[in-house]
Chain A
């Protein structure tokens, strides 16, 4: 759907009042608006006045927002790196270019976690090959990102299939906010990053930026990764209309991480247009279209080409004073072609066009000034399983101005991917001709509050009931060929708590913890060969504490302590690690920083049995950022 952010879409009588971040907590305590210059005023985040928008504080879901300030202070150099800041995600590095990311469990040992939907500026970036994300294709100049919204829990009603355990929205800045030159770069002994951007206004209401980004990771290591990307974004903003055009072009090379493996080359490009019209009565129409092409080639001869095109429209409006309605629909078509090379594993058919059509409606009903009920449903038709229904109902209660209690029941599905249905290895694997969608019904309860001036807290609990989870099953007494089926079901429960506490006006602590308990089982009659452990390799506990200090006007000093519990299978011991960064603003143009990562020890984050085990080791990264 044309849904750049949760904030915009979660229609509600309550409006989008800006982002809950510790940065703003500190800001609000530090200074009232009157102390800001007129230039700074224009950078204060405020209500997005449209009736469709909803503040993070009001959104009845477990949403964590990574702000640009968070990313800058953490010295983030990649999207997966940024996602480590979200307490409701598990991020496990496999090697320089490969990372496994999931929410609420099901992080897959092959790095193909498939229950998390990821959008970059409204463009769905999961691959129809396995319904997961190739993170090495997703790069950006971090300084040009506005924020990343991380929603744990299902979002099928708004975002559609695959938004099962979570949704990640990466939102880049409007070109009006990125005028001028920016040069940003840094290096450690094993990695280098350089980004250049130029932006300017043009005409009466337009602005654009162009950028180029290059990176090298694990330099001279077996898994060295080189990537280059360029792109643009242009925005025209008038009183009624906003028009955005953007595009990216990239290419990368990854050296084989082991002698038994092969080099991988990727290239791709995409272009997106989005038009929003807002009327005086606060109704809003948004239309978005994009085209995306990705090519991956493994030197052994395996090659996958995936094209995706999508068109979405949505309209939101207030109805009779009590209802805020958003409705819309869209179509997404992917066409892939898979060349197996000399490998004995292939997709049958080797080319396939998949079509997804959807319509949705969501109504936020103001029952009373403190009670909202939000009901909605998405109907989505896909080429493999036909019609899928994704309803949800949520209740939001504001017992006081500073607190929100919410609960929700939602259904979400993960529709079959090419690998689920069409992957053939003669005599070994016979695809999944009967594989249907994996299903989830999620029960959630959450509480968020500004407890005191200094303390902000969010807690979400969930109980997820899954059915038709993927299994790989023996087809007879001889076991082979195996077939992909839906032989697993089960439940997970968990708790996610995070918060921010301002010790002083120059020092604050952010903390988060997430607990997960899984209880999965094979259905009677299932002849699964991998066992329930194959569904996900997840820690029971993750926790982190960040200390953020402003030492005077120009210097930041930040420390992060992170704990990730043991992973059962393949076993990865629990670890504690620390990062530290000191940033110094020399003047209005130049900022220098030194960061140390993984300072406590060498540790393994995640294991793919098919790849060499990689340790994350202590490293020091020096960087500089210059803005005109």
Chain B
């Protein structure tokens, strides 16, 4: 309950836009953080991707320390399919050990290259990743967080994405397309 209130207070402060620039940033980060861990409910990793049934789902952040903080707060107490979440800040080269990678800024290209073909759900952001695109690519449209999905890239890593998530995407690059 206390946490709910704390999150509500942050959401309030942020939605109301009174914060300084750094806090203002968190308005969309808050929502993106929610998306990032919840994508896990709509993604199937190959069985070998986890060391055990209880092993946590590892969400890694490359090149966006502030976002890691926001994400840690968002996943606190959350579970998906019996697994908890573990948020880590990693360098691009270490991204392969993660299930979800949120890559931002200059290291984005390196991170994407490092996980190519591995069962890692890569998430990028139009505002910070430039032209580099992961499986999921956030854009903000009319003040709302939306995303594109590259299901063909997901297929390379042998992960599958639920149709419900695909239906929410602004665009989907289908499996089997070039």
Q: Within 8 Å of chain A (Cβ to Cβ): is B55?
A: no
A58/B17 in contact, CB under 8 A: yes
Cβ of A29 to closest chain B Cβ, rounded Å:
6
Q: Known contacts A15-B24, A48-B143, A174-B142: does B17 contact A33 (CB below 8 Å)?
A: no
Within 8 A of A (CB), among B8-53: 8-9, 11-21, 23-25, 27-28, 30-31, 34-35, 38, 41-42
- Kindly specify which of B58-66, B94-102, B112-120, B163-171 makes contact with the partner chain: B163-171
Say which residue of A27, A235, A239, A242 sits within 8 Å of B137 (CB atoms).
A239
Residue from the set B74, B129, B144 with the largest chain A CB neighbour count within 10 Å:
B144
Q: Closest CB of chain B to A397's CB: distance in Å?
A: 12
Which B residues lie within 8 Å of A47 (CB)? 24-25, 27-28, 140, 143
User: What bracket does the count of chain B residues touching chain A fall in?
Assistant: 35 or more
Bound CA–CA A33/B35 (angstroms): 10
Q: How far is the CA of A56 from the CA of B18 in the complex (A)?
A: 9
Residue interface mask A17-58, B partner, CB < 8 A = 1 = 111100011011101111010110111111111100001111
A402 at the interface (CB under 8 A from B): yes
Q: Contact at A33–B11, with CB atoms within 8 Å?
A: yes
Residue of A nearest to B13 (CB): A401
Instruction: Scan residues 146-178 of chain B and give those whose CB is less than 8 A from a CB of chain A.
Output: 146, 148, 164-165, 168, 170-173
Contacts of A31 in B (CB 8 A): 8
Q: Which residues of chain B from 123 to 149 have a CB within 8 Å of any chain A CB?
A: 126-131, 133, 137, 139-146, 148
Chain A residues with CB under 8 Å of B148's CB are 204-205, 238-239
B7 interface contact, C-beta 8 A: yes
Pick the interface stretch among A336-344, A382-390, A448-456, A544-552. Answer: A448-456
Whether the pair A44, B12 counts as a contact (CB closer than 8 A) is: no
Whether the pair A16, B146 counts as a contact (CB closer than 8 A) is: no
Could you tell me if B168 and A32 are in contact, using CB atoms closer than 8 angstroms? no
A3 to B22, CA, bound (A): 25
Given known A-B contacts A47-B27, A239-B133, A401-B23, A42 and B144 have beta carbons under 8 A apart: yes
**Known A176-B141, A239-B131: A41·B18 in contact at CB below 8 Å:** no
With A176-B141, A204-B171 in contact, do A17 and B15 touch (Cβ < 8 Å)? yes
Chain A: minimal CB distance from B39 (Å): 8
CB-CB nearest in chain B for A57? B17
Check B27 against A29 for contact (C-beta < 8 Å).
no
- Cα A39 to Cα B24 with chains together (Å): 23
B66-106: contact bitstring with A at CB < 8 Å (1 yes, 0 no)? 00000000100010000000000000000000000000000
With an 8 A cutoff between CB atoms, is A569 at the interface?
no
Contact of B31 among A46, A55, A366 (CB under 8 A): A46
Task: Evaluate whether A48 and B140 lie within 8 angstroms (CB atoms) in the complex, with A28-B11, A29-B8 already known.
Answer: yes
A47 to B21, CA, bound (A): 11
Are A453 and B23 neighbours in the complex by a CB distance under 8 Å? Answer: no
A177, CB-defined interface residue at 8 Å: yes
- Decide if A280 touches B128 in the complex (CB within 8 Å): yes
From A242, which residue of chain B is reached at the shortest CB distance?
Answer: B141
**CA A42 – CA B172 in complex, angstroms?**
16
Q: Give chain A residues whose Cβ lies under 8 Å from the Cβ of B38.
A: 38, 41
The residue in chain B whose Cβ has the minimal distance to the Cβ of A39 is B168
Total chain A interface residues with beta-carbon distance under 8 A: 67
Interface centre among B19, B20, B24 (most CB of A within 10 A): B24
Query: Given A17-B14, A17-B17, A57-B16 in contact, is the A43-B144 Cβ separation under 8 Å?
Result: yes
Q: Of B12, B78, B141, which is within 8 A of A28 by CB?
A: B12
> For residue B12, which residues in chain A have a CB less than 8 angstroms away from its CB?
25, 28-29, 450, 453
Does A237 sit at the interface, judged by CB under 8 A? yes
How distant is the Cα of A506 from the Cα of B48 in the complex, in angstroms?
48
Q: Secondary structure of the A side of the interface?
A: loop
- Which residues of A, 243-283, contact B by the 8 Å Cβ criterion? 278-280, 282
Kindly state whether residue A116 has any CB partner on chain B within 8 Å: no
**Are B171's CB and A205's CB within 8 A?**
yes
Are A17 and B27 in contact (CB-based, < 8 A)? yes
Query: Least Cβ distance of A245 to chain B in Å?
Result: 16
Considering the complex, give the chain B residue whose CB is closest to the CB of A450: B16
Q: Is B15 within 8 A of A18, CB to CB?
A: yes
Residue A523 is within 8 A (CB to CB) of chain B in the complex = no
Contact across chains for B168 and A49 when beta carbons are under 8 A apart:
no
A355 at interface by CB-CB < 8 Å: no
A398 beta carbon closer than 8 Å to chain B:
yes
Contacts of A300 in B (CB 8 A): none
CB pair A205 B17 closer than 8 Å: no
User: Per-residue CB proximity of A194-212 to B under 8 Å, as 1/0?
Assistant: 0000000101110000000
> How far apart are the CA atoms of A14 and B67 in the complex, in Å?
18
A297 interface contact, C-beta 8 A: no
Q: How far is the CA of A545 from the CA of B21 in the complex (A)?
A: 33
Smallest Cβ distance from B171 to chain A, in angstroms? Answer: 4
Chain B residues lying within 8 Å of A177, measured Cβ to Cβ, are: 141-142, 144
Q: Within 8 Å CB of B17, what residues of A?
A: 14, 16-18, 20, 55-58
Known contacts A17-B24, A239-B137, A403-B18; A280/B129 CB under 8 A: yes
Residues of B within 8 A of A607 (CB): none
Query: Looking at the complex, which one of A44, A239, A453 makes contact with B126 (CB distance below 8 Å)?
Result: A239
In the complex, given contacts A29-B8, A41-B31, what are 19 additional A-B residue pairs having Cβ atoms less than 8 angstroms apart?
A17-B15, A17-B24, A19-B143, A28-B8, A38-B35, A44-B31, A46-B30, A47-B24, A48-B140, A55-B18, A205-B171, A238-B148, A279-B130, A369-B21, A401-B13, A401-B18, A402-B16, A402-B18, A450-B12
A-B contact pairs, 30 of them (CB 8 A): A16-B24, A16-B143, A17-B14, A20-B16, A28-B8, A33-B7, A33-B11, A33-B34, A38-B164, A41-B31, A41-B34, A41-B35, A44-B144, A46-B28, A48-B140, A49-B127, A55-B24, A58-B17, A58-B18, A203-B171, A204-B171, A237-B170, A238-B139, A238-B148, A239-B131, A239-B148, A280-B129, A402-B18, A450-B16, A453-B12
A-B complex: 6 closest residue pairs judged by Cβ atoms: A55-B17, A17-B17, A57-B17, A280-B130, A32-B7, A204-B171
